[in-house]
């Protein structure tokens, strides 16, 4: 109905009409049509596509001279609207024409004045989407104070005679009245706990990022109907792999096991690698409450000492998890790979498997290192582990030759005490077994994506767009100035990036170049359009290997089932997939970003909590980032703190193009990677912030 309304309005002879006149032009007749028409009209008004004049007549907003954009409201009361339309200059909004719009609100704006070329003035017509709707914060004396509250906004709680709130409660509140004077009225919807309670900091992050912990009743009811074993399930059309040596390799505390592997060396030049992934799509049916909830969540979220799963634990830790010594349904991708790392044949099919062992990275690494105690415990795996190591190296070398860029990352782990307190921060060891699993999952994801590209059917891909050419060129200009390269390539390739990373390894500017290279890269995301994965140097790539934890992987499985196993290839089904994929890709990417932000924030808070007893102590660290307001120093355990520029003992010049601080009088250079001594002077657990001073 939305498209029909717009089609009618886009006709050349269309004139502004009220709803009755518009419905007549569209020749609507049935009650159902009028209901759909009314809802579509409301939706088009809400998103700003349509507007209504003072006579109550509708037309396209642009025909009334209205534009859409985001308001940057300044503290003095005026603001600028950044328009959606590319290339259009910002619109200045005087302080008396901002209506009740707030900073970050998405607005409909009308240009009222043109002050010369590319200088516009306007007024806010209405707010289309609020940047502030729900807030999470501490209640105190009739107001709510969010953690990251802009200092110029007051959140006043609407008085309620029947309800009283205790000071220092963590609350969830809804904004019910906006004001241009930055005093917003809120209603408290939920009290989450007392600010002094253990773990309340993580609850605040969960609530503020709109991460849903509890599953709806209808989802839990659906889960009750799923059998906890596969004994009574139909096993026809599945290849039985239960006699095959299949194992899982995960972290020590992993409970949601998505992937298992099998391997054989066929001869001196060929391997048979099996990647067997939990068949989650068998249990999560399209359109079911379980499916709708998984779509909404998009991903499991891992927050220090807890997991907010995408699927209820009966599935994520139970019937879907590839636990040892129990039968499980899987989708298997078996690949014949030669000694050059080329996949020369592959088979994708539904299977039934039984994992022989639940191996850990730690134990597999111990076997590779020759630990006799571990080897004697898993004698049946000695040959397989050796073959895995051999094939993983071949795959890694092949990937590197093709231009795949490998950034080394350090992953911290929080160690908790029995009462939930932070006892320590340790660095997760990354050994050969972690690399083995990474290489095997990468090749399986690549094979699945390549197969679907060949079939030319709608699909979801994991893409990584090309980096910003200007940023890459700036990076190579710096590398030339620092004498790491002699000339800047006309067209920078993957191999150029690899060579640069090799040249800076273990040098003074290694971290600077690494960071600037990362900053030049786009963010990976999900898309129905396959544009390849730049960082991995793959033409075709998807996420197939984690359907328990990621919704796009579940979609990959569902589409494989429809296309390959059930042969559902009619035009209607294909069209439905084309229609739904953009929303699935956008939602999956959005939820992934939300999870990443929340996980990083909780990690920062726990690191700050760990540092509380060390205020006043001195540490050695390395400069990790330089900004205009200060430099960040990272300790060996990955705790990062800010040395504010105002705390330096001398005036400092920031040479941004070289990412360097230079002492004006001492001429001391501070660059990323420089070792410095710092004293911990302040910690904010709630904000996840640590402040250092140079010693």
Q: Report the distance separating Cα 440 and Cα 343, nearest Å.
A: 12
Q: Helix, strand, coil shares of the chain as percentages rounded to 5?
A: 35, 30, 35
Give CA–CA dist 23/40, Å, rounded.
Answer: 12
Tell me the mean pLDDT in the region 570-579. Answer: 96
Q: Which CATH superfamily is domain 615-694 in?
A: Nucleic acid-binding proteins (2.40.50.140)
Task: Please tell me the least confidently modeled range out of 157-161, 226-230, 309-313, 592-596.
Answer: 157-161
Backbone angles phi, psi at 303, to 5 degrees: -120, 90
pLDDT of residue 679: 97
What CATH number labels 134-197?
2.40.50
The string of pLDDT tens digits covering residues 365-381 is: 999 999 999 999 999 99
Burial call 457-477: b when 16+ CB within 10 Å, e when fewer: bbbbbbbbbebeeeebeebbe
Q: What is the pLDDT of residue 33?
A: 83
CB under 8 A, 24+ apart: contacts of 177-184? 178/100, 178/101, 178/102, 178/127, 178/130, 179/100, 180/77, 180/98, 180/99, 180/100, 180/101, 182/102, 182/152, 182/153, 182/154, 183/153, 183/154, 183/156, 184/102, 184/132, 184/153, 184/154, 184/155, 184/156
17 secondary structure, DSSP code: B
What mean pLDDT do residues 597-608 have?
94
73: nearest Cα among 37, 23, 124: 124
Which has more pLDDT, 686 or 145? 145
Please tell me the distance from the alpha carbon of residue 527 to that of residue 312, in angstroms, as a whole number.
Answer: 26
Mean pLDDT of 581-604: 95
Average pLDDT value over all residues in the chain: 91
Please state which of the four CATH numbers 3.50.50.60, 1.25.40.10, 3.90.45.10, 1.10.10.10 is assigned to the domain occupying 2-61.
1.10.10.10
Torsion sign over Cα 680, 685, 687, 688: positive
Biggest CA–CA distance in the chain, Å, is: 86
Domain at 65-129, CATH class = mainly beta
pLDDT value, residue 23: 86
- Which strands make up the sheet holding 660-663, listed edge to edge? 652-655, 660-663, 669-671
What is the C-alpha to C-alpha distance for residues 83 and 413, in angstroms, rounded to an integer?
43
Over the stretch 89-103, which tens digit does the pLDDT of each residue have? 899 999 889 888 888
Position 150 confidence tier, pLDDT thresholds 50, 70, 90:
low
Residue 162: pLDDT band (50, 70, 90) is confident
CB 444 within 8 A of CB 335: yes
Q: What integer pLDDT is reported at residue 520 of this predicted model?
A: 86
pLDDT of residue 383 exceeding 90, the answer is: yes
Q: Please give the pLDDT value at position 117.
A: 67
Q: What average pLDDT does the segment 322-342 reach? A: 97
Higher pLDDT, 9 or 564: 564
CA dihedral (649, 654, 655, 656) in degrees, to 10, reads 140
Q: How many CB atoms lie within 10 A of CB 619?
A: 19
* Residue range 272-307, pLDDT digits in tens: 999 999 999 999 999 999 999 999 999 999 998 899
Q: What residues have CB less than 8 Å from 475, skipping those under 6 apart?
A: 500, 513, 516, 517, 520
pLDDT tens by residue, 396-438: 999 999 999 887 777 899 998 888 889 999 988 889 999 999 9
Helices (H) and strands (E) in the chain — how many of each? 16, 33
> What is the distance between the alpha carbons of residues 547 and 294, in angstroms, rounded to a whole number?
10
pLDDT tens, residue by residue, 519-533 = 888 899 999 999 999
pLDDT at 555 over 70: yes
Q: Within 13 Å and on the Cβ side, how many CA atoms surround 439?
A: 23
pLDDT tens sequence across 342-356: 999 999 999 999 999
Determine the length of the chain.
695
Element (H, E) at 398: helix 382-401
Query: According to the model, what pLDDT value does residue 316 have?
Result: 96
Buried b (16+ CB within 10 A) or exposed e, 332-343: bbbbbbeeebeb
pLDDT tens-digit profile of 446-480? 999 999 999 999 999 999 999 888 888 888 888 88
Say what the pTM is.
0.84
pLDDT at 658 over 90: no
Mean local confidence (pLDDT), 328-352: 97
| Structural Rg of the chain based on CA atoms | 29
User: Are 355 and 366 in contact, with CB atoms under 8 Å apart?
Assistant: no
CB 674 within 8 A of CB 658: no
Cα(465)–Cα(488) distance, rounded to whole angstroms?
22
Give the DSSP letter string of 317-347: IIITS--BTSEEEEEEEEEEEETTS-EEEEE
pLDDT tens-digit profile of 478-522? 888 888 888 888 889 888 898 898 888 888 777 778 878 888 888
Q: Please, which residues have CB within 8 angstroms of residue 536's CB and are 6 or more apart in sequence?
A: 399, 404, 405, 442, 464
């Amino acid at each position: 109905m939305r498209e029909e309304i717009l089609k009618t309005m886009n006709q050349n002879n269309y004139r502004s009409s009220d709803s009755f006149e518009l419905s007549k032009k569209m020749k609507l007749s049935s009650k159902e049509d009028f209901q759909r028409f009314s809802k579509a009209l409301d939706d088009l008004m809400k998103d700003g596509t349509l507007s209504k004049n003072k006579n109550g007549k509708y037309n396209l907003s642009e025909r009334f001279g209205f534009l859409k954009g985001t308001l940057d409201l300044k503290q003095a009361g005026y603001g600028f609207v950044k328009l959606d339309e590319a290339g259009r200059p910002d619109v200045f909004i005087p302080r008396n024409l901002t209506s009740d719009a707030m900073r970050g609100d998405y607005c409909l704006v009308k240009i009222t004045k043109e002050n010369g070329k590319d200088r516009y003035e306007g007024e806010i017509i209405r707010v289309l989407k609020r940047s502030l709707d729900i807030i999470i914060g501490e209640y105190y004396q009739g107001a709510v104070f969010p953690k990251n509250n802009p200092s110029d906004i007051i959140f006043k709680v609407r008085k309620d005679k029947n309800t009283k709130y205790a000071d220092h409660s963590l609350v969830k509140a809804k904004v019910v009245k906006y004001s241009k004077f930055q005093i917003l009225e809120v209603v408290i919807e939920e009290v989450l706990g007392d600010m002094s309670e253990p773990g309340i900091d993580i609850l605040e992050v969960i609530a503020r990022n709109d991460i849903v912990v509890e599953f709806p009743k209808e989802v839990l009811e659906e889960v009750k109907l799923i059998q906890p074993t596969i004994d009574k399930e139909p096993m026809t059309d599945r290849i039985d792999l239960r006699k095959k040596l299949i194992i899982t390799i995960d972290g020590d505390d992993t409970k949601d096991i998505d992937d298992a592997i099998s391997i054989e060396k066929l001869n001196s030049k060929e391997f048979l690698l099996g990647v067997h992934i939990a068949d989650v799509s068998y249990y999560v049916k399209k359109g079911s409450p379980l499916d709708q909830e998984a779509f909404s969540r998009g991903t499991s979220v891992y927050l220090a000492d807890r997991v907010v799963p995408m699927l209820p634990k009966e599935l994520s830790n139970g019937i879907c998890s590839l636990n040892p010594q129990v039968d499980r349904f899987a989708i298997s991708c078996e690949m014949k790979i030669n000694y050059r790392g080329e996949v020369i044949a592959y088979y994708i099919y539904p299977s039934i498997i039984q994992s022989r062992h639940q191996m850990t990275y730690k134990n597999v690494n111990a076997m590779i290192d020759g630990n006799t105690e571990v080897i004697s415990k898993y004698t049946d795996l000695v040959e397989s582990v050796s073959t895995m190591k051999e094939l993983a190296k071949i795959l890694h070398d092949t990937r590197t030759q093709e231009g795949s860029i490998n950034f080394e990352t350090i992953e911290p782990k929080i160690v908790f005490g029995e009462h939930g307190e932070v006892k320590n921060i340790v660095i997760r060891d990354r050994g050969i077994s972690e690399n083995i699993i990474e290489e095997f999952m990468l090749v399986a994801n690549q094979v699945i994506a390549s197969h679907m590209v060949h079939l030319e059917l709608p699909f979801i891909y994991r893409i990584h767009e090309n980096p910003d050419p200007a940023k890459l060129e700036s990076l190579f200009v710096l590398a030339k100035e620092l004498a790491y390269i002699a000339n800047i390539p006309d067209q920078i390739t993957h191999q150029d990036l690899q060579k640069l990373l090799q040249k800076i390894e273990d040098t003074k500017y290694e971290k600077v170049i690494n960071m600037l290279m990362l900053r030049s890269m786009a963010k990976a995301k999900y898309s129905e359009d396959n544009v390849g994965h730049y960082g991995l140097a793959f033409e075709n790539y998807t996420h197939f290997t984690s359907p328990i934890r990621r919704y796009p992987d579940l979609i990959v499985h569902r589409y494989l089932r429809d296309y390959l196993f059930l042969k559902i290839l009619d035009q209607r089904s294909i069209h439905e997939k084309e229609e739904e994929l953009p929303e699935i890709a956008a939602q999956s990417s959005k939820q992934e970003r939300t999870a990443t932000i929340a996980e990083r924030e909780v990690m920062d808070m726990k690191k700050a909590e760990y540092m509380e007893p060390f205020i006043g102590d001195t540490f050695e660290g390395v400069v990790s980032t330089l900004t205009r307001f200060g430099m960040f120093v990272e300790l060996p355990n990955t705790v990062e703190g800010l040395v504010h520029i105002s705390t330096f003992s001398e005036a400092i010049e920031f040479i941004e193009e070289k990412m360097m601080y230079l002492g004006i009088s001492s001429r001391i250079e501070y660059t990323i990677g420089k070792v410095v001594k710092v004293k911990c002077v302040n910690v904010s657990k709630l904000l996840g912030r640590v402040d250092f001073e140079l010693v």
